[in-house]
Chain A
Amino acid sequence: MSETTDVKRLSVFKTYKLYVGGKFPRSESGRVYEVSDSKGNWLANAPLASRKDARDAVVAARKAFGGWSGATAYNRGQILYRIAEMLEGRREQFVREVGEAEGLSKSKAAAVVDAAIDRWVWYAGWTDKVAQIAGGGNPVAGPFFNLSTPEPTGVVAVVAPQDSSFLGLVSVIAPVIATGSTTVVIASESAPLPALSLGEVLATSDLPGGVINILTGKASEIAPSLAAHQDVNAIDLTGAGHGSDLARDLEIAAADNLKRVLRPSASPDWTAPQGTERLTAFLETKTVWHPTGSLGASGSAY
């Protein structure tokens, strides 16, 4: 007979860590910050990422770019779908975390998580179709084969939405990686835990390390070094806030190497069906010419 049968079991807390290069490091700075639920109750300590963490993440994202952009679109689609599968299996965990993070009832949090899972499925299907709607043959006035093809722009820094910590996050990173770019994303500052848990899902979804790198902390501290980074090709300013000084300053810094900039929209609705704008925002168009020669120039060859 045990003497402890009536003692409530003490739960095991999770140490939340960054997700960089497929690994789960703490911030190199050793800093954390307190994360609370909407009622002010302590939830966890999240890593307070530094500018050095941001630079490390860019290195990881650049390293992953060759392989990820070179993978077949079909393969990328399978991996995005795998992320949806893994999330579905951890649905209850995310419903709880999103509910706590955003102060949502269980049913509302469930709707958000379901929408996020479905969003991965939506973008999974886009990987091998976007080239057909964004590219194509061009009927030039001469004997040339001429084909325009969309290509991923490279490493994309993303400031994720502040208020929609999970659906908003998924909605901004899925289109970036669907087309073959890699990303460094700064999660919602006040509600970073769903993003950090997403890292655990990504790590078990066959997604190569470095394709998505997740940082938590202050966008105002980390984003400027990403906006000014010479090896970042584009930046999504969504979470910096429409009309904010931060968004303007980041755009100015981004001009230094002419990053592609996606400005924050005034009132994004993450629950609405998505268009293709976020897919095409981080695509380059390459146009290749080649002479066709001419056979049967003297008459019909048919």
Chain B
Amino acid sequence: MTFEYAPAPESRAVVDIAPSYGLFIDGEFTEAADGKVFKTVSPSTEEVLSEVALAGKDDVDRAVKAARKAFEKWSALPGSERAKYLFRIARIIQERSRELAVLETLDNGKPIKETRDADLPLVAAHFFYYAGWADKLDHAGYGANPRPLGVAGQVIPWNFPLLMLAWKIAPALATGNTVVLKPAETTPLSALFFADICRQAGLPRGVVNILPGYGDTGAALVNHPDVNKVAFTGSTAVGKAIARSVAGTDKKVTLELGGKGANIVFDDAPIDQAVEGIVTGIFFNQGQVCCAGSRLLVQESIQDELLDALKRRLSTLRLGDPLDKNTDIGAINSAEQLARITALAETGEAEGAERWSAPCELPSSGYWFAPTLFTNVTQAHTVARDEIFGPVLSVLSFRTPDEAVAKANNTQYGLSAGIWTEKGSRILAVANKLRAGVVWANTFNKFDPTSPFGGYKESGYGREGGRHGLEAYLDV
């Protein structure tokens, strides 16, 4: 007997997307100096959602100047006053969270279940958390009266557009910096809605500037001589280019880059919970997550049992309309990303790994990729080494805890890892040996504004979240 689900779509009526948007500079929406625009589409339907101004070099200069001008007064405000602006922003985000969740789902393609229950609550919480720090910086462990850096140039990815904005803007403003932020080219809308929230909150002009654009806009921002701080979340290749470009300057840099997280399942793990954790680890947000558990390391003795249970579970995932409240797997963010995932999966097959995809019907328009796993994977396989950034899990096995740790650490990355076992001392011993910035034991992909997040090795440097996250924006 199978159960059919009736469609349960969230209403689009809660969000009013304008046909066009400008750049947000010095408190006003404005056209790009050269008049260039680009279109942003809904990845689940390929429908054009809006036309957005494309910031060029001159616009970057204009925005940095506005941020520099605003910095003097903003940094001189008592922390308690800056705090209240951030508290206002947090509250307005809470009030408008349904609207923003629907908007984010439309522009990004991820399920409404996730934007509603994960992205938006975390966005509001992040502003609320850092609001409280603004007048307590003397107590943060960085000495008395720590000073802001100045103008922060921030470049964020498309996988969690508004959450990544919150991770960047909230600590920057709390510490007294002003910002110029470039959202990703495929997901500019929520950042532009955030500009409107800044207006509603009465935030002084120039404190937050939003410049939609592509990679060259980001490069112009990062390389602008009057930017004091660079914060980037995205690919390791771009992170390295940024690290090179700021060499020899006084710019402070934090980089949150790629990952190839190992999810280690020991033979005493509760299988059903582990299966849920594996699914959360790699299929949350279609696997387009830097800290995804994209390598499953399973103890040999339970491999068959675990894979059977996992495949059964994956067969029940519902892929389709991201606005449907029953949808588990939404659309891939862009045609480019879909092509990349597709190519890497083909490489996996060509190199001899065994491919299995969940049986599900893909919609005829939009960008889709069925949940997929690879078995017979060796550590040398591309699918075990490269970050795929999609719903593709590579399965490897191990016999001893030492072997599990060695395989988990055998990567250029070091962002996340998971451990599934009922044995407490084993959790602590393995967690201690893993070279990764976030370790989830008997859980996965949990986030919180109080919890520092960031990587070891080529997953970048610096931490976002918690007391640690303040350091990136202070002259300490």
Residues in A lying within 8 Å of B, measured CB to CB: 133, 136, 138-142, 144, 146, 148, 153, 233, 243, 245, 247-249, 251-252, 254-258, 260-261, 263, 275, 277, 284-291
Contact = CB atoms under 8 A, between A and B. Distances in A.
A258 B415 CA distance: 13
A157 B240 CA distance: 19
B460 A258 contact: yes
Given A148-B468, A258-B457, A291-B442, A286 B243 contact: no
B395 interface: no
A254 B244 CA distance: 8
B451 A140 contact: yes
Contact of A290 (B443, B451, B460, B476): B443
A258 B441 contact: no
B120 interface: no
Nearest to A233: B457
B440 interface: yes
Given A148-B451, A251-B247, A258-B255, A142 B460 contact: no
Nearest to A252: B247
Nearest to A260: B461
Question: A245, A248, A257 — which one has the most chain B CB atoms within 10 A of its CB?
Answer: A257
B295 to A, nearest CB: 18
Given A138-B451, A146-B451, A285 B446 contact: no
Interface string B440-467: 1111001010111110111011010011
7 contacts: A248-B247, A249-B247, A258-B239, A258-B243, A258-B461, A287-B453, A289-B446
Contact of A139 (B437, B450, B458): B450
B141 interface: yes
Contacts of A252: 244, 247-248
A136 B443 CA distance: 20
Rank and list the top 3 A-B pairs by shortest CB-CB distance, nearest first. Answer: A248-B248, A255-B243, A251-B247
A288 B448 contact: no
B125 interface: yes
Contacts of B450: 138-141, 146
B143 to A, nearest CB: 8
A198 to B, nearest CB: 30
B309 interface: no
A260 B26 CA distance: 35
Contact of A258 (B434, B443, B458): B458
Contacts of B427: 290
Interface in B221-255: 236, 239-240, 243-244, 247-248, 250, 255
Nearest to A244: B248
Contact of A148 (B440, B443, B466): B466
Interface residues of B, number: 42
B452 A251 contact: no
A226 to B, nearest CB: 16
Contacts of B457: 233, 257-258
B106 interface: no
A261 B249 CA distance: 12
Nearest to A284: B456
Contacts of A290: 427, 441-443
B430 to A, nearest CB: 10
B436 interface: yes
B335 to A, nearest CB: 29
Nearest to B476: A277
Contacts of B437: 284-287
Contacts of A254: 243, 247
A289 B443 contact: yes
Contacts of B441: 288-290
A242 to B, nearest CB: 10
Contacts of A251: 243, 247-248
Given A252-B247, A257-B412, A142 B439 contact: no
B285 to A, nearest CB: 18
A234 to B, nearest CB: 9
B395 to A, nearest CB: 23
B431 interface: yes
B248 A247 contact: yes
B281 to A, nearest CB: 13
A141 B451 CA distance: 10
Nearest to B461: A260
B244 A255 contact: yes
B438 interface: yes
Given A153-B456, A258-B239, A263-B250, 20 more contacts: A136-B467, A139-B450, A142-B446, A146-B450, A148-B452, A233-B457, A251-B248, A252-B248, A255-B244, A258-B243, A258-B457, A284-B456, A285-B452, A285-B463, A286-B434, A286-B436, A286-B456, A288-B431, A288-B439, A290-B441
A255 B246 CA distance: 10
A285 B443 contact: no
A256 B440 contact: no
B454 A285 contact: yes
A286 B458 contact: no
A175 to B, nearest CB: 16
Nearest to A258: B458
Nearest to A146: B451
Contacts of B467: 136
A144 B442 CA distance: 10
B196 to A, nearest CB: 27
A215 B239 CA distance: 31
